[in-house]
Amino acid sequence: MISSLDIQIEKNNQSRLQNIDFSNLSFGGVFTDHQARIAFVDGEWKTPEIMPYGPIEMLPGAKILHYGQGVFEGMKAFRYQDGKINIFRADKHHARFVRSCERMNIPGIPFELFLETLKSLINLDREWVPKEKFKSLYIRPFIFAIDGSLGMSTSLNYHFMIICSPVGNYYSEGIKPVKLTTMPEYVRAVPGGVGEAKVPGNYAATLKPGAEANKAGYTQILWLDAIERKYVEEVGTMNIFFYMNDTLVTAPLKGTILPGVTRMSVIELAKAKNIPVEERPISIDEVLEAAETGALKEVFGSGTAAVVSPVGLIHHKGKTVTLDQEKMGPLAQEFYDTITAIHHGEEEDPDNWCTLV
């Protein structure tokens, strides 16, 4: 058991909190007063440190900068009406973080060390957790290889860090439907690759195609599988759900998509509501056809940053199908309402989803 006594804390005595406009938060644009760091050196985790948020030192030869040996996670903390703070599904995020680390040959941080450090950080910056519903404290744990040598080998030493940022909606559209396009000339992940791990390169590689999609008027790319360029995978910042023939269909976890914690929550809630769920390959042609016949009722994405975000339009090879362009569909709205009510403690915690700080 790690007690708060085992965490070294250097307080920031020049808080920036009073300068923050909580009514106008861009995603990840501002950070709280403190950051946490735990070094993994000589084969062991050192004492966690919490210090003022600010620049970090790194050797120019650090392996993260050259070979990208690093992993990150995205989590959120929410405020209840009575002021309590809830970290949402901390155990599931930690488990995914450790799985991503395994894939990158990085030591997995023990859950207790991860959680106790995070709780101390949030406690110190608790005034930064937005008071308004639908806003939250976005938590970004990450780990990176610090060995300063260019040999193509696993780093022996790492820094694990956590930074936090008060956020509102992820998309500038708010929770209005987003527009997606496929880009069959590019792929996001290949079987046996790192598509299911939350690693920086997965995101960096989508920036160029993403910019092309934005230029053409789409919010994001709907990624297709790398082999047949036919099956829908995910959106890059969200998993994707199709509500068709009264069944919720989503791509299976076969190694090329991120195993989303919100995806898992939507599936668990759907099953509890007796909505049939199919995790199976779904082709873009099946989606377009279902849209044409009217079998496709709703499309929405799920993610920590995005929560539940409706999709209003899908474009594929010159063909465009439109869903409701103005608002969320009723099923997506139901998930959004339930999940946000759990976030803010207004609905019963289904199964230890909430960790109070």
By the rule CB under 6 A, 70 interacts with ligand COI: no
CB of 231 to ligand COI, least distance (A): 22
Which is closer to ligand COI, CB of 136 or CB of 338? 136
Cβ distance to ligand COI smaller for residue 237 or 250: 237
Of positions 166, 177, 195, 303, contacts ligand COI by CB under 6 A? 303
312 touches ligand COI (CB under 6 A): no
Look at residues 307, 221, 224, 201 and name the one whose alpha carbon lies nearest to residue 261.
307
Looking at the Cβ atoms of 219 and 304, the one nearer to ligand COI is 304
Residues within window 197-226 making contact with ligand COI, judged by CB under 6 A: 203
**CA 205 – CA 68 distance, rounded (Å):** 12
User: DSSP secondary structure string, 57-124?
Assistant: ---TTBHHHHH--EEE--EEEEE-TTS-EEEETHHHHHHHHHHHHHHTT-PPPPHHHHHHHHHHHHHH
Candidates 70, 74, 107, 329; binder of ligand COI (CB under 6 A) is 74
For the segment 145-204, give every residue that binds ligand COI (CB under 6 A). Answer: 203
- Does 237 sit near ligand COI (CB under 6 A)? yes
Tell me how crowded residue 67 is: count the other CB atoms within 10 A of its CB.
17
Q: How far is CA 328 from CA 175, 309, 342, in A?
A: 7, 8, 19
Q: Which stretch binds ligand COI (CB under 6 A): 171-179, 207-215, 242-250, 301-309?
A: 301-309
CA separation for the pair 295, 290 (Å, rounded): 5
Separation between Cα atoms, residue 59 and residue 147, nearest integer Å: 8
CB 281 within 8 A of CB 255: no
Q: Which of 164, 305, 314, 357 binds ligand COI (CB under 6 A)?
A: 305
Q: How many residues bind ligand COI (CB under 6 A)?
A: 6
Can residue 301 be called a binding residue for ligand COI (CB under 6 A)?
no
Instruction: Decide if residue 345 touches ligand COI (CB under 6 A).
Output: no
Distance (Å, rounded) from C-alpha 326 to C-alpha 307?
18
Q: Which is nearer to ligand COI, 171 or 243 (CB)?
A: 171
Applying CB under 6 A, the residues found at the interface with ligand COI are 74, 203, 237, 303-305
